[in-house]
Structure 1
Amino acid sequence: MDLYQILTMHNRPWSIREIVVFVFFLAVVAGFLLLRLKTHRITKGQAVAGLALYGFLGIVFASTVFTRTPGNRAYELLPFWSWREILFHQDWSLLQENVLNIILFVPIGILLFPLLRKITWKSALIIGLAISALIETSQLILCRGLFEWDDMIHNTLGCVLGYLVASQLLQKRCGRKVK
């Protein structure tokens, strides 16, 4: 299953109400960032990173929670169950899902780096885990997917990898020491 099939099979188009809510909160976030920019509390780069992060998170939450068709409450509480299936039953579709869950959060880690100037990899880990836990908990409560620890682990790993990529690029480009 390719990425296009995943998006079209698991997600319905956004409703007018969802678009209005997204745009409303985009305006609120943009206004907040503009105010912080005008008072010199953030840089233009931080404002752009903040808007990009909001937009990306909106798309992630839409595709993982809000545009999914409600179903039954489902959960898998055994950590690393997907890796057992991959190793013992050669379930390559689960391997693909695991890799896609890692890749999904890489942009979040990349955007955190310019947004939060003094972020460490531990902070990126906590933020990635918190966002992923919010997604998984929303899926469980709203019956819109499978709640599983594996997704939280893979998403968090992706966020940290994104942070590490951004920190290495910045370190090479600007000579800034990264924690």
Structure 2
Amino acid sequence: MKKSTKNRIRVIGVILFFLYLAVLTYFLFFSEKYGRTAEREFSYNLTPFLEIRRFWNYREFLGLKAVFINLAGNVLAFVPFGAILPVISRRMRGFFRVMLLGFSFSLLVECTQLVTRVGTFDVDDLMLNTLGAVLGYLFFALCDRIRRHIYG
């Protein structure tokens, strides 16, 4: 691939990444649709799988939409993180590197939610967000492998 094409792809990736961060910030901290208010007490869950299990056990009462938004939404929200980072920088490639970066970024988000009292610090969200970043990286790796196979 030509160097100019790589640079163009990298620039587009940076723009997409900042747009992604802006949208993610809105939904995580400002969207009233997802129950974001700044009047709550400190709220946290440090027990792994507690909220995941609760949402699954009460899925009929809560409704499929609420369960999907909480469980799949936490995964899907971080897929772009893991897919775009390796496009932006070669140093951001590698399964464990993206997993650690996804976990670190999710931890930053969860701590910010705790301190600002917008949302809840939830260890389950850390796990689901990290899974999303990893799935995003696997999608990138698959696409990169296909590209290399086709274009040599």
Q: TM-score, normalised by structure 1?
A: 0.68
How many residues are paired up? Answer: 135
Identity level (%): 27
2:59 matched residue in structure 1? 91
Deviation at 1:131, TM superposition (A): 1.2
1:12 matched residue in structure 2? none
1:43 matched residue in structure 2? 7
2:29 matched residue in structure 1? 65
Deviation at 1:84, TM superposition (A): 2.4
What do you get for the CA RMSD once the two structures are aligned? Answer: 2.1
Structure 1 spans left out of the alignment, 5+ residues:
1-39
Structure 2 CA distance, aligned partners of 1:103 and 1:170?
20
- Secondary structure, aligned partner of 2:118: coil
Q: TM-score, normalised by structure 2?
A: 0.79
- Secondary structure, aligned partner of 2:47: coil
Structure 1 CA distance, aligned partners of 2:29 and 2:100?
21
Structure 2 CA distance, aligned partners of 1:152 and 1:79?
10
1:142 paired to 2:116: yes
- Secondary structure, aligned partner of 1:138: helix
1:54 matched residue in structure 2? 18
Structure 1 CA distance, aligned partners of 2:39 and 2:129?
23
1:101 paired to 2:79: no
After superposition, what is the alpha-carbon deviation per residue over 1:51-70, rounded to whole angstroms, capped at 9, x for unaligned? 21111112111210245320
Question: Bigger shift: 89-98 or 52-61?
Answer: 89-98
The one-letter amino acid of 1:69's match is T
The one-letter amino acid of 1:82's match is E
After superposition, what is the alpha-carbon deviation per residue over 1:145-170, rounded to whole angstroms, capped at 9, x for unaligned? 11101111101100110110111011
Deviation at 1:86, TM superposition (A): 4.1
Structure 2 CA distance, aligned partners of 1:48 and 1:64?
24
The one-letter amino acid of 1:139's match is Q
Match of 2:85 among 112, 126, 132: 112
